[in-house]
Amino acid sequence: MWYYKVVIGILLFPWSLILVMAVGAARLRYARRPRVIVLPTGSLPAPSPLPVPVPEPAPVLPGDLETSGVSLA
pLDDT digits (tens, 9 = 90+) for 29-59: 887 777 777 777 777 677 777 887 888 888 8
Query: Residue 67 pLDDT > 60, yes or no?
Result: no
Give the confidence band of 69 by pLDDT, cuts at 50, 70, 90.
low
Q: What is the DSSP code string of 14-71?
A: HHHHHHHHHHHHHHHHSPPPPPPPPPPSSPPPPPPPPP-PPPPPPPPPHHHHHHTT--
Percentage of the residues of the chain whose pLDDT score is greater than 90: 8
Tell me the pLDDT of the chain averaged across its residues: 78
CB 5 within 8 A of CB 12: no
Helix (H, G, I), strand (E, B) or coil at 12: helix
